[in-house]
Structure 1
Amino acid sequence: MAESIASGQEKVSKGTTAVVITSVTCITGISSLLAGLVVVGLPTIAKDLALDANLLLWPSSIYALTCGCTLLPLGAVADVIGSRTMYLTGCVLQSLFTMACGLSQDGSQLILFRGLAGIAISFCLPSAVSIITNTFPEGKRRNIAFASMGGGQPIGFSLGLTLGGVLSDSIGWRWGFHIAAIINTLILGVAVYGLPKDIDSWEPITWKRLTSDIDWIGAILASASLAMLSYAFASITGSSLNIKTPATIALLIASVALVPIFILWINRQERLNRPAIIPKSLWRNRVFTSICISVFLTWGAFNAVESILTLYFQYVREISAIQTSIRFLPAPISSTLANVIMGLIAHRVHADSAVIVGTTVTCIAPLLMAIAHPDWSYWSCEFLAVLFNPVGADTFFTISNLLITSVFPTKTQALAGGVFNTIAQIGKSVGLATSAVIANSVTARSSSEDKQSPEALLEGYRATFWYCFALSWTTLVVCSLGLRNIGRVGVKRE
């Protein structure tokens, strides 16, 4: 079977290449685009749907919560029933739930469908990694495919921030979901007919395989821990006071308590030579561990900076949603350029050098915003911050996908995608929650009497930008130590 896949990889046509790259880029990009659209359009959405203040950030948080909690088990299922089947199923569900979000009549419906959309993308993300790996041999095409897929998320998010205000102040935020659902359905049609049909194993799917080849208990333990952790952080994001509530404290303690239980279970599975949802041996690999830590920090800092920037523009600079969107135009442009460049040169440069350069550029973004003043011109700091912020995430996502797929065996490529994207989603939740806590805490201690005044909010946002600057520099240190001397990746093996 492995030989037939390898043989098929060498004969990949340009048409198939275009279908695979377009599909995985658009499907992952659309999900992130909607996340950005919700962030910018949230004030308008909340007003239209009478969304309670305590639930204001839940349309954003619930998506990351459900996605992060289902990636691991769905990645494991994809390795058994086939990545193509799982991917197409996820595309169908994403179209349905995205359209449902646009048709929501109240806040509860929007939150419900956003949560279901998070589960839908969990069908797609790990399966997409497997599709790319089993379609393209190591080399330029695989590099470009991973660069496109990895870039689809930050580019989509930045594009969503750009379009969100435009739609909210013109034809309405609902059209963002409607248009996304239509495009998603068109891409689904292309994928049905264009994705290779021979990339999955022909081994029959049986109940025995589903029960014995998947570590269900490990998946449940990991998902439960992540669910409680994500829920707690989502609550904290809504209000920093929630961190003191008994429910939040209990969830945090329970999520941490499940970690040693999960480790013990993994040890048992490996001792008995049974499947483990995340093999313990992977964490002994310096490169893999460094990637996981860095992805966690990178995704958290990237999303926190972009989210706080939207609040800075609307509540400190006091400009409209559409003006905010215009100011985010440099982000998708720099993000696209970073991914195109990485796709073309990944196999020619040392991976550690590429990551260090990309992360260093990103470090400039929160630093500029930490010292920026609202009276200064947009071009003095804000433009460069918006331009530089996506570069590190785009560079690191491409390199990480190439490295991780070389660490995991071929038969568990979908699970590898699940691990990678789970860590990224949890990083996003933690980054947003901790940033919100810092901003709210500093603003609460402001000397300004009106805690909602631009001056008071600016103090909190500046503290958050310094925090994100520290996260970016921590990522730089981890990459410098953990990825040193790893050489080039994505090089075709003879």
Structure 2
Amino acid sequence: MTDLEDAPRTGTTPTTPVVHRTAILAIILVTYFMIILDNSIIFTGLPSIQATMDFSPTGLTWVQDAYTLVFGGLLLLGARAGDIVGRRRLFIIGLVVFSVASLLVGAAPSGDVMVAARALQGVGAAILAPLSLSLLTATFPEGRERSRAVALYAAVAGIGASAGMVVGGVLADLISWRAGFFLNLPIGAVMIVLAVRYLVELPRARGRFDVVGAVTATLGVGALIFGIISSSEVGWASPRTLVSLAVGVLLLVALVVNEGRVEQPIMPLRLFASRARSGAYAIRFLYLGAMMGFFFFTTQFLQEVFGWSPLQAGLGFLPMTIVNFAVALSVPRLLDRLPSVVVLGAGVAVTFAGMLWLSRVDQGDSFVTGVALPMVLIGLGQGLAFAPLTSYALVGISGADAASGLLNTFHQLGSSLGLAVLVAVGTSAAAAAGGADPVGVLSRRVEVALTGSSVMIAIAFLVVVLVVLPGDLAQRRGHDGRA
């Protein structure tokens, strides 16, 4: 992909902006990589964070969920703000917010401050993620170049998540868990300079902010997560749990009603008219919920059951990272030869096999057979699945709708809600098992939680077969819903 100009080769006027597509793509990919990296870089430092900040096992969940919840809840509003305020300007503001928040997380003196700073990081990510995608679709016209750019964007999602485990482990062991967040400062600074230099401001759209939609989405999912996490501490029959869950459901119902009435919704319901697209959103939600559980519990198993250091635990994810990287880079060529639904289905099925295998791991198993080989399958499956998932979510919709951020919203809300469910299930199972051996209790907790991840992946595969495949066939015949 070479740098191209907007205007024809002849008659170019001095006011015609030059679009440096390669530079813009690099800015988008590096920025998105930084955001996704922060989704997982914290995992290998969780045992150290828990000890330093005195978190309970369930309270530790908020270190991750504060980020993903705010990230997912405000994505839609961030996308709309970019359309109205200006994508270039808001993108730069998002980089500043994310970088400053990273500094605050790294310097946090207490658990409460850390969770608050993680939430602020989520605000910056909620600005950057949808704008990255909308800038990509605006820069590359639909066709081969956009397909390649989208495949690279999707590869970053998978590679960033697994690479974060390795980077986080190395930094946590050699320096401190805080170093992973300080790393964002130089990267963010360079991206700000390049964004000022290369990004071209796109035409703005008149409109209003759907504040009600953003608030009901964020608070609704937040109430559900709070209720689910509370259940492992006070029980499902507790008034705190029941009220939280009821409030969450009511707020999400209000969200749907609001989006069907407002003139400029942040979540246009018409985007769900396509079965293939709706299925892709559901799979993204389930898949990321399972993967967050995988990262959260596997790193604790490696450190607290196998007795590994953060560095060893981070390097322990290399089988997944290497395979994921290699497969993700080859997927664009694979998609030229095979239907997207076949690649997607194969990716989800292979992920299920790896996750189910990993859920059987026990403290007496070896790393190679108990962890590494299942990770190879998970890395292979993730590398295959992400590109077609992204393509299905974007096909046939305008740039403005792509900027609505629904793809990333389901990604992040699936991460936060899925992790909350798996933590609650794992904690309840460990409590029921009892026992004075903390290693045995944690091992049981990990087994149950990863079994839950396997169930989520199995449901995602059913969505591929029962929703995406028929939707894909209908779309090819021209009968599927259009945005």
* Structure 1 residue identity aligned to 2:97: L
Note if 1:229 corresponds to 2:224: yes
Pairing 1:300-379 to 2, within 5 Å after superposition:
300-379=289-368
Name the aligned partner's letter for residue 244 of structure 2.
Answer: L
Residues in 2 aligned to 1:81 and 1:242: alpha-carbon distance in whole angstroms: 45
Gap change, CA 1:266 and 1:187, over 3 Å in 2: closer
Find the counterpart in structure 2 of residue 168 from structure 1.
172
The change in CA–CA distance for 1:220 and 1:435 in structure 2 (over 3 A counts) is closer
1:220 and 2:218 equivalent? no
Per-residue deviation at 1:145? 2.2
The more displaced of 114-123 and 330-339 is 330-339
1:18-417 equivalences under 5 Å are 18-51=22-55, 55-195=59-199, 197-198=200-201, 200-201=202-203, 209-211=206-208, 214-233=209-228, 235=230, 239-241=232-234, 243-269=236-262, 274-415=263-404
C-alpha distance in 2 between matches for 1:282 and 1:59: 32
Pick aligned residue for 2:406 from 419, 441, 448: 419
Give unpaired runs (5+ residues) of structure 1: 204-208, 490-494
Q: Deviations over 1:450-479 (max 9, x none)?
A: 1x5322332232222222222212111111
Q: CA deviation at 1:231?
A: 3.8
- Contact 1:298–1:475 (CA under 8 A) maintained in structure 2: yes
Q: 2:443 aligns with which of 453, 458, 464?
A: 458
CA RMSD in angstroms comes to: 2.9
1:449 alignment partner, SS class? coil
Aligned to 1:492: none
Shift of 1:296: 0.8
Q: Which residue is equivalent to 2:425?
A: 438
For the residue of structure 2 that corresponds to 1:128, the secondary structure is helix
Residue identity in the other structure for 1:161: M
Provide the aligned length of Structure 1 versus Structure 2.
465
TM-score (norm: length of structure 2): 0.88
Counterpart-to-counterpart distance in 2, 1:457 and 1:49? 20
User: Residue 41 of structure 2 aligns to a residue in which SS?
Assistant: helix
Alpha-carbon separation, structure 1, partners of 2:6 and 2:228: 43
Distance 1:242 1:392, change over 3 A: farther
Displacement of 1:301: 0.9
Change (3 A) 1:168 1:6: same
**Over residues 193-244 of structure 1, what are the superposed CA-to-partner deviations in whole Å (9 max), with x where a residue is unaligned?**
123x15x1166xxxxx343xx43333333333233234434555xx443655
Provide the C-alpha distance between the structure 2 equivalents of 1:325 and 1:263, rounded to a whole number of angstroms: 41
Shift of 1:55: 3.3
Matched to 1:249, the amino acid is L
Shift of 1:245: 4.2
Give the whole-Å Cα distance in 1 for the aligned partners of 2:204 and 2:65.
38
d(CA) in 2 for partners of 1:434 and 1:474?
15
Code of the aligned partner of 2:407: F
Q: Within 2, Cα distance between the matches of 1:278 and 1:177? A: 31
Change in 2 beyond 3 A, CA 1:68/1:362: same
CA shift, 1:309, in A, is: 0.9
Aligned 8 A contact 1:351 1:487 in 2: no
Deviation at 1:160, TM superposition (A): 2.0
Q: Which moved more, 1:179-188 or 1:148-157?
A: 148-157
Matched letter for residue 418 of structure 2: G
Q: CA deviation at 1:187?
A: 2.3
Decide which moves more: 178-187 or 299-308: 178-187
Contact 1:302/1:390 (8 A) holds in 2: no
Q: 1:388 to 1:26 in 2, by over 3 A?
A: farther
Alpha-carbon contact 1:83-1:414 (below 8 Å) kept: no
Shift of 1:298: 0.7
Contact kept in structure 2, 1:62 and 1:234, CA below 8 Å? no
Letter in 1 for 2:41: L
Cα separation, partners in 2 of 1:265 and 1:381, compared to 1, 3 Å: same
Q: CA deviation at 1:425?
A: 1.2
Q: 1:488 to 1:140 in 2, by over 3 A?
A: farther
CA contact (8 A) 1:349 1:488 kept: no
Q: Shift of residue 57 of structure 1?
A: 2.8
1:223–1:306 CA distance, 2 compared to 1 (3 A): closer
Secondary structure at 2:108 match in 1: coil
What is the deviation of 1:422? 1.3
Give 2:148's aligned amino acid. I
Distance 1:488 1:434 in 2: 34
The normalised TM-score by structure 1 is: 0.86
Aligned 8 A contact 2:351 2:378 in 1: yes
Displacement of 1:122 after TM fit? 0.4
Q: Mark the CA change 1:217 to 1:162 in structure 2 (over 3 Å): closer, same or farther.
A: same
